[in-house]
């Protein structure tokens, strides 16, 4: 891991690392915030997964998460949203290809060669972070939009690996909405049964661990009715008796203005779980 940015921030350090990913077959950037507590010992980690078109930069420059990470003594790790590079498959559409990895392991050409974001987030990235930085193996996970989808799917599929999970404006039903259907058709193929392994609603029904879900959703989100459909998450959790806190935030949209308004509450949620 090569450090390419290093900035003092809220008593800690906001850094960007670059590394060669064997899982993705390309060079990847990852943002890491180390709170001041990391100078005296190892700290737990919150993994943040960003949404469509984003990079590792969005959450660290727009959310103000570092302030709360310093208060609670939590490292923040934010990877890019897809593999990158001239040799990596891409598409001219914003919701497919680079910047739109959807946190799945692609099985279809040309995507399968690089688009293994699920394995990267679950295995390779934590292994690197825990080997090179002053962090513990206590992990939580969160994300926004496509990243909210990724965070919930990864937590649900890996019982015991994460202490807590939360999401802002998540794509809760990717198998049923245009964003998810386009990505899954391209990355996973036409067999919709294979899509279910990356569907939050389907995973809740059979979850081995009932890790409470914390979700914040703005009522003026321009994607609310067509792409996000939080009511389906409520129905799935009620049917499976899965704990869910869904906060519908009046007047808020899909932007980082929304995330910045409530990121402190999410950090407190994760800090409590990580301290138990």
pLDDT (tens digit per residue) in 86-142: 999 999 999 999 999 999 999 999 999 999 999 999 999 999 999 999 999 999 999
Tell me what pLDDT residue 260 has: 98
**Other Cβ atoms within 10 Å of 30 Cβ, number:** 21
Containing 49, the helix (H) or strand (E) segment is strand 43-49
Closest C-alpha to 149, from 98, 201, 80, 114: 201
CA-to-CA distance for 168 and 14, rounded, in angstroms?
22
Task: Look up the CATH number of the domain holding residue 24.
Answer: 3.40.50.1820
DSSP 29: E
Selected catalytic residue, list 63, 145, 164, 166: 145
Selected catalytic residue, list 144, 242, 254, 266: 254
For the chain, the average pLDDT equals: 98
Work out the average pLDDT over 191-197: 97
Task: Report the relative pairing of strands 43-49 and 12-21 from DSSP bridges.
Answer: unpaired
CA-to-CA distance for 20 and 35, rounded, in angstroms?
25
Total domain count for the chain? Answer: 1
Selected catalytic residue, list 186, 221, 242, 270: 221
Asked if residues 253 and 228 have their Cβ atoms less than 8 Å apart, the reply is no
Half-sphere exposure of 267 (CA within 13 A, CB side): 20
pLDDT of 34-84, one tens digit each? 999 999 999 999 999 999 999 999 999 999 999 999 999 999 999 999 999
Catalytic annotation on 254?
yes
CA-to-CA distance for 33 and 7, rounded, in angstroms?
9
Q: 0.95 exceeded by the pTM?
A: yes
Residues in contact with 167: Cβ distance below 8 Å, sequence separation at least 6, in sequence order: 142, 143, 144, 147, 148, 149, 151, 152, 213, 214, 215, 216
Which residue range is the domain that position 103 belongs to? 2-275
Catalytic annotation on 221?
yes
Supply φ then ψ for residue 89, to 5 degrees: -55, 145
Catalytic annotation on 90?
no
């Amino acid at each position: 891991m090569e450090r390419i940015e290093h900035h003092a921030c809220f008593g800690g350090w906001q850094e960007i690392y670059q590394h060669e990913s064997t899982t993705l077959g390309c060079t990847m950037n990852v943002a890491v915030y180390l709170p001041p507590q990391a100078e005296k010992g190892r700290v737990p980690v919150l993994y943040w997964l960003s949404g469509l078109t984003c990079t590792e930069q969005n959450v660290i420059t727009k959310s103000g998460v570092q302030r709360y990470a310093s208060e609670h003594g939590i490292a923040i790790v934010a990877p890019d949203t897809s593999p990158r590079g001239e040799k990596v498959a891409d598409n001219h559409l914003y919701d497919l290809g680079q910047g739109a990895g959807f946190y799945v392991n692609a099985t279809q050409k040309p995507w399968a060669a690089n688009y293994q974001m699920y394995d990267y987030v679950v295995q390779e990235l934590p292994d690197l972070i825990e080997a090179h930085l002053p962090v513990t193996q206590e992990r939580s996970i969160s994300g926004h939009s496509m990243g909210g989808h990724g965070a919930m799917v990864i937590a649900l599929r890996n019982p015991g690996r994460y202490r807590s999970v939360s999401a802002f404006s998540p794509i809760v039903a990717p198998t049923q909405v245009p964003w998810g259907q386009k990505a899954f058709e391209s990355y996973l193929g036409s067999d919709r049964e294979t899509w279910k392994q990356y569907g939050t609603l389907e995973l809740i029904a059979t979850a081995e661990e009932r890790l409470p879900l914390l979700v914040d959703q703005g009522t003026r989100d321009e994607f609310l009715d067509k792409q996000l459909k939080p009511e389906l998450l409520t129905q799935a959790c009620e049917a499976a008796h899965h704990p869910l806190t869904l906060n519908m935030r009046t007047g808020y949209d899909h932007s980082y203005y929304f995330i910045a308004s409530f990121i402190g509450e999410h950090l407190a949620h994760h800090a409590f779980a990580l301290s138990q």
